[in-house]
Structure 1
């Protein structure tokens, strides 16, 4: 009887062995997926970080300072200005640093951020008072920026600006 019980247990074990192996394979694959995927962290923390970046960008524009954009905009940045001109990172920084516009104020408000794993979309309202060719100009612009989370932090990969009425020609 003991021999028969032992044989039955051995037979069941041999029959179930392939399923244990498949479970082990499945478990190993699951662990590899978890290890390979970066931790995305708390979306609210990421959202606040991007809100801060949007406000920092507005401050850099007001100061005609391209340093912020060198740091945060990706090398392959592709943007569209409010008048339809497409720009890369270098061209965008040239627009920001242009002495043709002197900003008295430049603010980012109504900043909304949606985070999707390692990507985020930020929209905001830019309001500025500036002097262009000796004329005082006040404008509002809707801006959209697409961010990608990289090992070195969030980087802007794309952006577009749209003038709000009344439409006044200006460099951004």
Structure 2
């Protein structure tokens, strides 16, 4: 498998784990030093991310699709940019929106792990 395919696979597995609410899979796919900045500007470490998006149950993804994916490599680091299509329920309210994401992956002995990500609202098309 090419490095580009391996990073894309890791990104798709991360999205699938989020939709399934699979905390264990996310812990394998996200780096222990993971940092996330959501579309509202909140910054979270790994535990805060898992609590907010998996454990608390306030947020439940029905779908997260990536398109317009681009991946660039810098040694053992990969930067993935993509457009996200999210459909989820937040505190009982259904929402569907498009976002832009930047995800940074590092190659570790366990494979490609996401160490940082940021999501912003996508421009309306």
TM-score class, shorter-chain normalisation, is: 0.7 to 0.9
Q: Which has the higher contact order (CA 8 A, sep 6+)?
A: 2
Residue 93 of structure 2 is aligned to residue 135 of structure 1:
yes
Moved over 6 A (4+): none
Equivalent position of 2:81 in the other structure: 123
Find the aligned partners of 1:164 and 1:127 in 2 and give their Cα distance: 10
- Coordinate RMSD, CA, aligned: 1.8
Gaps of at least 5 residues in structure 1 are 1-43, 167-172
Query: Do structure 1's residue 71 and structure 2's residue 16 form an aligned pair?
Result: no
Matching residue of 2:51:
94
CA displacement at 1:165 relative to structure 2: 4.7
Instruction: Show the 5 A alignment for 1:55-66.
Output: 55-66=12-23
d(CA) in 1 for partners of 2:62, 2:106:
31
Higher Cα Rg, which structure: 1
TM-score, length-normalised on structure 1? 0.65
Q: Does the aligned pair in 1 maintain the 2:37–2:119 contact within 8 Å?
A: yes
Structure that is richer in helix per residue: 1
When you count strand as a share of all residues, which structure comes out higher?
A: 2
Aligned residues, how many? 123
TM-score of the two chains, using structure 2 as the length reference: 0.86
Answer yes or no: is the 8 Å Cα contact 2:77–2:106 preserved in 1: yes
